């Protein structure tokens, strides 16, 4: 048996990053590894200049994401006023409003992609070098130090993370057990349970809940998934303060509909 930390990510608007080229700012259909680890870092209270602690977070955990509902895409034509960094240093302004008054600003145009009402379930497992226990990460998600957001600061979350640590023999079983509870505790008030059920009914795709899972390599044995493909995504974060990202390989698999149909990955 292995331990997994599972939690829910849902936002009315979310942006999960993509390679940014020119004025286009895209979004993947599911939360990236860097987004998940950045969310955990914010919950733990890590600042961007604490690179060693970010490195420990990156090295200490594996991540799997099941895309329950992909939501619908939305593109925003975005205009932003900015001041060149050299001019900002010369101005010595204390606030952005003051900076825009005393320095010449430029307008940056961009097209920014979002996902509307996407829902994902995230699973984490600890590696031998993990600096925090899964219980500590769950506690941080319940009471985050910094305000969490879904990719951009304007994107608030629409459901509680509802983190829980689950014991299961495989990743597939852990995801199934999470689906049974939806993260609602057995002692939750009936009103809370009803509210979560209503939100999940509204978000459920017409063709059923998604079963595709993107996951890091798991050395705990069999995953219980049916393997589909391997992708390369630029969502590893070697340097948080400099906002650098690197390529990584991710396995994409299918969660079987029933235990007797489980494949082996």
Pinpoint the alpha helices (H) of 143-263: 171-181, 190-203
Continuous segment of H or E residues that includes residue 10: strand 2-14
- Contact between residue 46 and residue 58 where contact means Cβ atoms under 8 Å apart: no
Average pLDDT over every residue of 74-81: 78
β-strand partners of 120: 9, 67
- Give the position of tokens 């017409």: 206
- Give the position of tokens 């999470």: 178
Q: What was the pLDDT predicted at 243?
A: 57
| pLDDT at 128 > cutoff 70 | yes
Give per-residue pLDDT as tens, 173-201: 999 988 877 888 788 888 988 888 888 88
pLDDT tier at 264, thresholds 50, 70, 90: very low
Q: Is 226 exposed, middle or buried (0-12, 13-18, 19+ CB in 10 A)?
A: middle
Q: Which CATH architecture has domain 2-74+114-261?
A: 2-Layer Sandwich (3.30)
The domain segmentation of the chain, as residue ranges, is 2-74+114-261
Average pLDDT over every residue of 69-87: 78
Using N-to-C axis directions, what is the helix angle for 51-60 and 33-44, rounded to 10°? 120
Torsion of CA 199, 202, 207, 210, to 10 degrees: -30
- Three-state SS for 33? helix
Top pLDDT among 138 and 220 is at 138
Q: In whole angstroms, what is the distance from residue 16 CA to residue 28 CA?
A: 5
Using N-to-C axis directions, what is the helix angle for 33-44 and 134-142, rounded to 10°? 80
CB atoms within 10 A of CB 123: 23
CB atoms within 10 A of CB 224: 23
| pLDDT at 17 > cutoff 90 | no
Top pLDDT among 88 and 35 is at 35
pTM of the predicted protein model: 0.81
Give per-residue pLDDT as tens, 86-116: 666 667 777 777 777 777 777 777 778 888 8
pLDDT tier at 26, thresholds 50, 70, 90: low
Average pLDDT over every residue of 253-261: 70
| pLDDT at 263 > cutoff 60 | no
Average pLDDT over every residue of 243-259: 77
Average pLDDT over every residue of 141-146: 94
Q: In whole angstroms, what is the distance from residue 54 CA to residue 241 CA?
A: 10
Q: In whole angstroms, what is the distance from residue 76 CA to residue 56 CA?
A: 35
Average pLDDT over every residue of 121-134: 93
Q: What angle do CA 174, 37, 158 make, to 5 degrees?
A: 75
| Average per-residue pLDDT for the chain | 83
Q: What angle do CA 132, 248, 136 make, to 5 degrees?
A: 10
Q: Are strands 106-126 and 24-25 parallel, antiparallel or unpaired?
A: parallel
CB atoms within 10 A of CB 199: 16
Average pLDDT over every residue of 61-71: 92
Contacts of residue 29, defined as CB under 8 A and 6 or more positions apart, other chains included, come to: 16, 67, 70, 71, 115, 118
């Amino acid at each position: 048996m292995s331990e997994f930390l599972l939690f829910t990510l849902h936002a009315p608007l979310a942006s999960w990053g993509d390679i940014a080229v020119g004025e286009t700012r895209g979004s993947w259909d599911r939360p990236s590894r860097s987004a998940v680890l950045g969310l955990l870092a914010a919950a733990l209270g890590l600042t961007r200049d604490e690179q060693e602690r970010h490195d420990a977070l990156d090295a200490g955990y594996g991540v799997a994401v099941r895309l329950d509902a992909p939501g619908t895409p939305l593109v925003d034509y975005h205009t932003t006023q900015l001041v060149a960094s050299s001019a900002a240093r010369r101005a010595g302004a204390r606030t952005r409003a003051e900076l825009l008054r005393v320095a010449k600003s430029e307008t940056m145009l961009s097209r920014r992609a979002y996902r509307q009402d996407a829902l994902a379930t995230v699973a984490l497992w600890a590696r031998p070098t993990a600096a925090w226990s899964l219980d500590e990460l769950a506690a941080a998600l319940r009471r985050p130090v910094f305000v969490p957001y879904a990719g951009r600061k304007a994107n608030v979350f629409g459901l509680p993370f509802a983190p829980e640590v689950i014991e299961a023999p495989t990743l597939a079983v852990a995801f199934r057990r999470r689906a049974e509870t939806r993260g609602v505790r057995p002692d939750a008030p009936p009103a809370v349970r009803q509210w979560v059920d209503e939100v999940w009914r509204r978000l459920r795709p017409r063709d059923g809940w998604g079963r595709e899972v993107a996951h890091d390599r798991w050395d705990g044995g069999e995953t219980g998934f049916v393997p589909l493909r391997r992708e390369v995504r630029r969502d590893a974060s070697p340097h948080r303060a400099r906002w650098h990202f690197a390529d990584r390989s991710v396995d994409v698999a299918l969660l079987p509909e029933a235990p007797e149909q489980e494949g082996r990955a």
